[in-house]
Chain A
């Protein structure tokens, strides 16, 4: 049985507005770490809120753990863990008080499932008497995750858990998600960071309320349809301009110090280098590269 089923879910806010979520369908298998990848405003949070029963869909069906999100909302609420994008614990309660409070809200005790959160909680335990509002961003996220896990949910919904968190904490956070997955907990996580997508079992790319593609990260990258080159060593604006003027150019985007240029047919590294040299960019270095998730996203976005 699928842990999460989404069928043609649509939801708009206000009449005449473009729907925030538009005919979305996908399924998440039991114990899967599933990523919902898309930019801000793509409809990730709306979709999350429909799945955790906080919003009603205008059309379509969805179920979590076999329970319908509209009809059986109470069953879903007592079995899932939810961590909203915004830090949503009590800032005037201490770390420990927050944890105990949320345990009691879920009819459980901190000690019942402590093993599940031990690794995570040990890291913030030195600050257990500190008010939650005075924690650093990374520690807040760890506490929020502890609170969302305290009742050992069967499915965990994390809405942009790493937004605004430093790189080290982000890495630790994803390590933790890997361990939870090993515990058999189904995880649906949304993020605007493409680099995090690679750590998911499968990902759905979402843009303007629509799913562009659902695949494994490797499958998605393998399915990239164009020859792709990484070009560097020259000033980026000039580089991008010249690459865009190439007769076989499909797209060219800057990725840090490198430009990723896609072509309809493989121009060959040497020929491309020659083309750039003729354009006055003799210093440019060219090498074939594999598509990243971001390349795939850009490509899918362009085609839709």
Chain B
């Protein structure tokens, strides 16, 4: 990287002999940018991570089940079963395979793990159907993986039920009960709308908390903070100068995530983008305050990194509600979850981005987050040591 001319110093101060506070701060911030931009590994983490996470969570880590092997044991072999099988096959969830298996043979295939779900049609299926009798379709699933089993049986039931309803209507039968379920905001129950807000919280937490903490502690470790303290430069400005570059870089990350989310995952921002950005700045500030707090309390980069990961990242994953629903947790854990800033941000982002709601719906969460930010900033600045020990 070439030398960056310090024009602000050279040209900006012609009439006075001193550099103003703002110029001083600007130079300090520029120095921080140089640190980040000259460190390839940090850069890679900084900008590679959000992209990786979005892609991993969007595509690889999904609880949707696609193209599962479905075995059909068709004892009916008639019009109705053929129509149903065709319908199952047409769905993108299943790859249908028809085999005539005896019950023990079927169980053996399950035991070998070759198949996740099987559908068994009884003999004389069509006939019974036509005579209006109750006719049952057996769905067998491998519940050693309960989530997948539940999902698959639901898919099968839905398809069979749809088919039955259509047939009934086609034949204009006067009776029949309909259950109409509508999945709001995310009708396909896709994973991405859930993950994008989570990834945003995660990435911001990681970048802001860890990078800020490490960058301040690095100055402690290398002794440059010692030199900085023995100068007229105000210690609070050290904190501000450290925080500003990461605020800006984090906003770049938010932008990257939103663009990726819209273009690659097809999860656009339903609500106001500016509101979302404003809320993100608030959350970034919370994270920066936490990062500064960690840096104030520690004196080695390793410790700062460890605390950031264990103390911040883990709670974010566990308690933000994006991996595990908070409502299902025991009360003490729910209380902990309330203290995790990412939880509030996650709620806010989901509301704005997925549900398309405005500030009226999230003002309470915003207030909580703002309160946390103010609190942590206050504590951090108070505890920032103007001496060495």
Contacts and interface: CB of A to CB of B under 8 A. Distances in A.
A107 B24 contact: yes
B157 interface: no
Nearest to B238: A105
26 contacts: A13-B389, A53-B387, A54-B229, A54-B230, A54-B388, A55-B389, A74-B232, A77-B229, A77-B231, A82-B226, A86-B223, A88-B227, A89-B227, A90-B35, A93-B34, A94-B3, A97-B6, A105-B228, A105-B231, A105-B232, A106-B231, A108-B17, A108-B19, A109-B9, A109-B19, A129-B3
A49 B222 CA distance: 16
A82 B230 contact: yes
Nearest to B237: A105
Nearest to A128: B3
Contacts of A78: 231-232
A55 B18 CA distance: 29
A33 B222 CA distance: 28
B388 A55 contact: yes
B80 to A, nearest CB: 74
A183 interface: no
Given A88-B226, A107-B19, A49 B232 contact: no
Interface in A59-102: 73-74, 77-78, 80, 82, 84, 86-94, 96-97, 100-102
A35 to B, nearest CB: 20
Contacts of B6: 97, 100, 104
B82 interface: no
A98 to B, nearest CB: 9
B180 to A, nearest CB: 63
Interface in B1-43: 3-4, 6, 9-10, 13, 17-19, 23-24, 27-28, 31, 34-35, 38-39
Contacts of A206: none
Given A55-B389, A104-B24, A105-B24, A88 B222 contact: yes
B232 A82 contact: no
B102 interface: no
B385 to A, nearest CB: 10
A89 B23 CA distance: 21
Contacts of A91: 222
A110 B228 CA distance: 17
B4 A84 contact: no
Contacts of A102: 227, 231
B22 to A, nearest CB: 11
B224 interface: yes
A279 B10 CA distance: 74
Contacts of B4: 97
Contacts of A73: 386
Contacts of B18: 107-108
B233 interface: yes
B388 A112 contact: no
A13 B226 CA distance: 18
Interface of B: 3-4, 6, 9-10, 13, 17-19, 23-24, 27-28, 31, 34-35, 38-39, 222-224, 226-233, 386-389
B223 A106 contact: no
Given A93-B31, A109-B9, A80 B24 contact: no
A88 B229 contact: no
A29 to B, nearest CB: 22
Contacts of A110: 9
Interface string A125-158: 0000100000000000000000100000000000
A52 interface: yes
A77 B9 contact: no
Nearest to A131: B38
Given A49-B388, A93-B34, A109-B9, A77 B223 contact: no
A92 B38 contact: yes
A87 B231 CA distance: 17
Given A88-B224, A90-B35, A104 B230 contact: no
Nearest to B2: A129
A292 B38 CA distance: 50
Given A53-B387, A92-B35, A107-B232, 12 more contacts: A54-B387, A84-B226, A88-B227, A89-B224, A92-B34, A102-B227, A102-B231, A103-B9, A104-B9, A104-B24, A104-B27, A108-B17
A265 to B, nearest CB: 50
A89 B227 CA distance: 8
Contact of B27 (A87, A101, A129): A101
A56 interface: yes
B230 A53 contact: yes
A110 B19 CA distance: 11
A91 B19 CA distance: 24
Contacts of A82: 226-227, 230
A180 B4 CA distance: 31
Contacts of A94: 3
Nearest to A111: B10
A77 B389 contact: no
Contacts of B34: 92-93, 97
Contacts of A56: 387
Nearest to B232: A78
A100 B230 contact: no
B230 A52 contact: yes
Contacts of B24: 104-105, 107
Contacts of A100: 6, 9, 27
A302 B9 CA distance: 55
A110 B6 CA distance: 11
Contacts of A101: 27-28, 31
B150 to A, nearest CB: 53
Contacts of B222: 86, 88, 91
A125 to B, nearest CB: 13
Given A84-B223, A129-B3, A104 B19 contact: yes
Most A CB contacts (10 A, CB to CB) among B4, B27, B224, B229 go to B224
A106 B232 contact: yes
A82 B232 CA distance: 12
